[in-house]
Structure formats: structure tokens, C-alpha cells
Structure 1
Amino acid sequence: MKAGATSMWASCCGLLNEVMGTGAVRGQQAGFGGGAGPFRFTPSTGFSAYPAPASTNIVCKACGLSFSVFRKKHVCCDCKKDFCSVCSVLQENLRRCSTCHLLQETAFQRPQLMRLKVKDLRQYLILRNIPTDTCREKEDLVELVLCHHGLGAEEDMDAGSLRSSRSQSSGFAHPFSTSVSTSNPGELANRRGSTGSGTPSRTPGLARKRARASLSDISSLEDIEGLSVRQLKEILACNFVNYSGCCEKWELVEKVSRLYRESEENHKTQGERMQLNEDDDSLCRICMDAVIDCVLLECGHMVTCTKCGKRMSECPICRQYVVRAVHVFKS
């Protein structure tokens, strides 16, 4: 009887252990370890009575510190990222991060943007998830900022105009529907054609091709100093000049200045050669001193003066035997 009760108690403890699954159920039996009560649960090593802490901790985008009572969380109204109270600026009841506030102060004008640091321009684009890997110069970052700002402003204007048009259309929905129903199909087609032809004129192209700088745009050596690094590189690339070893702007200016001087010298020498060619057409091909005034017979070529023609035994052009050299007079 005692052995049967013991086996039944052991089977009940094993069943509880399988159902609960959090530990081993042990009683005060000879085959089990001693415990403080009738049951003792041994928790597993992977079990914790406290909830696991959050793995992702929200931090400030600028300084990287966690938000607290002294560092309150604020959302930038431009880039929609989280910043603390130290790294954000409150202006006109709008909270902006320091980067957006810095660019907002420039009113997105090109001269003011060119004065900013490359780090600030790149950070402004990174906050808006705009890739900057293809930007090699500061001017590229400024162009990207202006392009993104122009697109954002046009989207806001389009959204505002869309809301106003919807409100107006909702207010005048019934009169418009009645007027359309009473109008003729021909008038409706004309209206559609006029609106279709008018839309391209109202939507000018956003991306205009910027004219590449060329050597012909330079009128003097002083103009080269006012060119940007990108324009200097474009001029050198168009004229097949290697600038891979140039690290400073003055090196590019020196190369472009040398290229400009050589180009001017080539133009001058080419003009002088053209003048010489025009004058040489009337000079003797033998002495290059006297004027051509002789005809060689029997071939009839006029390539020498009378003095040189009488000394020739054969024509210098066709190698035909010269019978006679005849002096001619030009009218």
C-alpha cells in the first residue's frame, strides 16, 4: 500500500512538471531532494520574472544621447527626425534642428549656401535620405540642396492648390454638372483641347541643362580667376588636358591660363600663315622672291619667274622638257 502511494505521488509530480514546464516538481520524498514545502519549483536559467528591456533605444540624431527629463525629445518640422532640446532651435513656435535652422537662415540663396560648410550641406541631405555619393564638389551639394528645396516647395504649392480647388469644386459641384449636361459635345471637346494644350505652358521644366564652360567664353586672363573649380575642370576636359594631379584651385587656374595663352598664339600664327599663303601664291616657286610672270612651253605651267624659267631644263611640276620660256604681262 505504501509502495503504491509512493509511485502514484511520483507520477503526479512528473505530470505537474510536464504541464507547467518551468521547473522540476519535487516533494519531500526519499527519492527527491529536500524542500521547504510540499512542492519546490526550480526555475530554468533562461527564465526571468522581469520583462526584457527594449532593444532599440531612441537617441538624438545630432549628439547621439538618449532622451531624458533634462533632454526632452522634439521632432524637427522640416526633416521629421528626433532631436533633443539642446540640438534643436525654437523659432516662431516651430522646432527645427540646428542643421535645418542653419540652412533656413540662408533663405536657400546660392551665394549664402556656398559659404556654408560641406559638412552642414551633406548632413542636410542625409537627414532627408538623399544620397550624396555622386557629389564631388561643394557646388554639386548646393545644386542638390536647391533642387530638393525647389521640389519640396512646388509639392507644397501643388498640395495647397489641390485643396483649394477641391473646396471650390465641392461648393460649385451642382452648377458645374448642370452646365456640362446642357452644353454641346463639340464645346466640351474644344474645352478639353484648350486645357490639354495649356497645361504644358503652365508646367515649365524643372531640370534645365546647364551650359558647359568652354575656352571661347574667356575673353582675358582675368576672367579665369572668377571661374569655379567645376568650370575649370570642364574647360580642361573639353580640350583633352589631364588634371588628375591638381589638388588646389590655383593649379587648375594655371593650367587653364596656359591653355588660353597657347590658344591665342595658335590663332595669331594661323592668321599670319593665311596671309603668307595669300602672298606666296604669286611668288616664284624656285626663288620665292620675284613674281610669277613666265609660261613654260610646251606644258604651259606658270610656276616661275622669267629669270628662273630660262634656267629650267624641265618643268618642276610635270617634268616635261622646257622648249621655251615666254614672259607674260598680267592685266
Structure 2
Amino acid sequence: QITDEACKLHLEDSDSIEEHIHIIIAGSVEDFPEDDTSDSAAKFAAQIARASITDKTRSNHVRIIKAYIRYHLRRNPKWNAKEVTVQTPQDINMFITQKCGPAADGFEGRKYSTAVSTRAALTLWYRTIRPNESIVEWRMEEDTKAWRGLPTRSPEVSRFMIGLEKTKAKAGEVSQSARALSLQDMHRLHDLCLDPKASIAEQRAGIIRYTAYLLAWLMMLRIEEVVRPQFSSVDMIPGEREYVEISLITRKSAQTGVTHSWRLYANDLDPKICPVRALIRLAMTYGDNVRLSGPLFLRVNAAGAINQAQPIVSSSGSPSSFG
């Protein structure tokens, strides 16, 4: 009976915590109210504000915020999620430790990327509940002893994140050799993808793969962004100009639309990184049987045939994603 009663009390406490979290989140994070249809300017302003963060990212952040509040309420039922004090950076560090600390020590053992996502989500939380605070500092007012700014920007959290990354790297969980691709890397990638000794299917897949990698490198795009262009995104006039113009509709840093295009010039001094040559190779690979509409990058089947019914619309970043 005692055990049953303890379980009942535990469930009641859990329900109470969840209800408390729901009230806190509903009253704070929903900072984009329904559009005021009576005022077109207010409606348009609300649309702009909502576009500052994607719905998926926002949902993920809210999920992390709920977990953060739940964690501290279970540790201390009197903990105030909206209170910001000198202890708040330590609260953030404790939660990230619970998520990313070593599993052997009783923590969840998640990757460093989880810590980065958590810090971003909690930045959203503290910006939401304190919208008038500075977003680039963390300091105490001498007169009132109140803490100003974002606790996620505090030196304590910054040092903790640096230490966590180094700890993860030593444990082999974070690549210590990650760096931007160099010109020499692109040359080696060119030779790997365009291997004349490869089979027809491998050569065709390699041409498509290298074209995507080269455009991503030249335009400084993510792999998931470089596979978005359509045939209509490429404006190329052979014989009339020395560059090809490429446009994107959206990208991660421009959710409401990319307002500029990229002009990629032919490179006769270094043909391996010439975007015009790469696109000409791509056109020759596709031939006359491929319709010039839809996604630009298409898959190649095992026999070497171009499959326009299965375009490459996303990528995990691995070479096989382009095969």
C-alpha cells in the first residue's frame, strides 16, 4: 500500500509539473499572435516576425525548453523558470551536462551538437521572457544587483561549451580535424569523382556528384542547399558570356527568399574548378533524353541510366547520396 501510494503521489507530481510547464510555455513562447486581419500592416509585420525562425526549428526549440524546465522543476519544485539570477548560467550548464555528460557517469551521453541546439533553444527562451534585454552581454547592474542580458551569453556558459567540446573531442566524439575544403581538396575530389578507369555508371554519378560539390564550394552553400536548384535556376548563354548565373528560391539563412544570384565565371587557369565546364559535363551526361525541368541533380541507376523520376532533393552529405 505504501508503494502504491508513493507511485500515485509521483504520478500526481509529474502531472502537476507537466501542467505547470504547459502554462509557462503557452504564456511566454507564443510570441507571434494571430494576425490582425483588420490591419494589413500588422498582418504583414506578423508574417515577417514569424519568418525569422522556421516552424520546425521553433518546434524543436520549444521541445528543448520544456525538457529544461521539467528537469529543474523535478530537482526543485520551487524553481522559477522565468527568474534570471546569477545562478541561471549554472542552471543551463547543469541541464546540458545531464544531456551530454558521459553515460558511464549516469548522464545521457548525447553528442556535442545537442549542447549547441540546447544553448540555441535556451537563448530563444530567455530572449522571449526578457525581450528588452541586450542579446550580446551578461552583466550585473551595480545599483539594483539585477542581472542583465542573456545568461546563455555568459562567460560561465561560454567556457563550459568550450570545455565540453574539448572533452568530447578527446573522447573521439567530435572531429578534431574538421576544416573547410581547400583548393587541393577540390583537386583531389575532382580526380576521385572523374576517374576515367571507373565504370560508366560510376563516371556519370561522379560527374553529378562533383558538380554539386563544386557549386557548394564556390557558392558557400550547404549540401542540402546545393541540391535545391532547378534547371530553371541556371541561366547560361554559351558563346555570349563567360559566366553562368545561378539563383535559389530559399536557403537556411534566407527563409523568405534569396534576393541575389551567383555569377560563376569560367576558369581557364584551373579547369578542375571551372563551374562552366562542370555544368557542360553535366549537360552532356544528361543528354537529350532528360527534360530541362525540375530538380537539377538527378540520380544514376546501377546500369548508368539517368533517372529523372528520382531527383536528388536532399542529402546526408555522404557521396553515396549522389549515387
Please give the range of the TM-score, normalised by the shorter of the 2 chains: under 0.3
* TM, length-normalised to structure 1: 0.20
Whichever of the two has the greater Rg, that structure is: 1
* TM, length-normalised to structure 2: 0.20
Structure with the higher fraction of residues in helix conformation: 2
